[in-house]
A = this chain, B = another copy of it.
């Protein structure tokens, strides 16, 4: 058998959709195997989840600290841990495992506070550990194609970016009607200073950074609370100025009736433009100046290397979110296996890192700050 990484999981117990998605994604390409977990604060849930997954009961833990400590002592200790708990716990869990020399994959946002995120970044750098933050959407092949197309200068210097991320699930006060996901998302105690920008606006920031490499110089954000009685934002409009002089509009909403998960990206360059929609991820619209508009299809048209590498099915056979998620884990696993083998792995990194995670946290907090100051322009 090829070498396979072993991993554990904090959070993601029975009934958690995102836990299941991470497990499928991490193991999709047979590069990693789940061997341990602390799936819930409720030990019974951890036990039943572990049993369902065929895990050894000795490696099912009551809390993450016990897990970090005991796993660290094993000869066959895990190569990495996946953290899929509520946002406000990410920091201390990640820290606990890193301190035991265990690499970390963490759900986004990496932390609530920028300081915490910076601390994690520093720690991984100093100790040569790998950190990954699972911003799902950079895993899609067409997104990777766009990144390389832009890097190659295909559409020239970027002038304008417009990204919208529209959902409808919080259009009504469902948090008052028993929707648990809504309950913690709209609660500052678990979500920090922002709901909508933190949850989906941060995906915008990440995917644009990934695709374009543009750096935000300043921004002007207005965070709305459209559903009365909420403490946190459920919609936001953000104007962005990049250091290159390019401009951006980011719009995220959880009250956009008719939209399920409408992430749509448009990038205008001096020589062409690119357009991609997450809900129809296998194709991409590209327009070059003076030429007919093209529709590129994954598996049909020639894609750039980073994209081809993560394309599994022939054209016309749709790939979806599981595959995008798997691509993040597969790229992470490849880098980790290279590192384990003692080889240079930095150039192989094509997944969202803790640096990306830390920048994301700052973006969220800067948006909150701008909005609180009357949607004025603030510098990063």
Asked if A247 is at the interface (CB within 8 A of a chain B CB), the reply is yes
CA distance A235 to B269 in the complex (A): 13
Question: What's the nearest-Cβ distance from chain B to residue A5, in Å?
Answer: 13
Given contacts A222-B241, A258-B275, A319-B322, 12 further A-B contacts (CB under 8 A): A30-B52, A30-B53, A162-B251, A224-B247, A226-B270, A237-B239, A256-B273, A261-B314, A280-B318, A286-B292, A318-B318, A322-B322
A21 proximity list for chain B (CB < 8 A): 313
Residues of B within 8 A of A35 (CB): none
Chain B CB within 8 A of A380 CB: no
Given known A220-B220, A260-B299, A297-B260, contact A319–B321 (CB-CB < 8 A): yes
Q: Which residue from chain B places its CB closest to the CB of A226 in the assembled complex?
A: B159
A53 engages B313 (CB within 8 Å): no
Q: Return the CB mask of A218-259 against B: 1 if under 8 Å, else 0.
A: 001010101000000001010101000001010101011111
A317 CB-CB contact with B under 8 Å: yes
Nearest-neighbour CB distance to chain B for A133, whole angstroms, equals: 18
Across the interface, name the chain B residue whose C-beta is closest to A258: B287
Residue interface bits A151-189, CB-to-B below 8 A is 1, else 0: 000010001101010011001100000000000000000
In the complex where A289-B171, A316-B167 touch, is A237 in contact with B226 (Cβ < 8 A)? no
CA distance A139 to B293 in the complex (A): 24
Interface 9-mer from A116-124, A345-353, A371-379: A371-379
Interface status of A341 (Cβ within 8 A of chain B): no
With a CB–CB cut-off of 8 A, which chain B residues contact A247?
Answer: 222, 224, 235, 237
Whole-angstrom distance from the CB of A85 to the nearest CB of chain B? 19
Task: Check A318–B321 contact: CB distance below 8 A.
Answer: yes
Q: A273-B257, A294-B293 are in contact. Are A28 and B17 (CB under 8 A)?
A: no
Sample (22) of A-B pairs whose CB atoms are under 8 Å apart = A2-B52, A30-B53, A160-B226, A222-B241, A222-B247, A224-B247, A237-B239, A253-B268, A257-B273, A258-B272, A258-B275, A258-B286, A258-B293, A260-B314, A261-B316, A292-B295, A292-B297, A293-B294, A293-B295, A293-B297, A313-B321, A322-B323
A300 interface contact, C-beta 8 A:
yes
* A51 contacts partner chain B, Cβ-Cβ < 8 Å: yes
Q: Which B residues touch A226, using CB under 8 A?
A: 159-160, 270
Q: Among B159, B224, B316, which residue has its beta carbon within 8 angstroms of that of A262? A: B316
Given contacts A235-B247, A270-B171, whether A260 and B315 have CB atoms under 8 Å apart is yes
Assess the B279–A255 pair: CB atoms within 8 A.
Answer: no
Interface residues of A in 104-162 (CB under 8 A from B): 155, 159-160, 162
List of B residues within 8 angstroms of A257 by Cβ = 155, 268-269, 271-273, 287-289
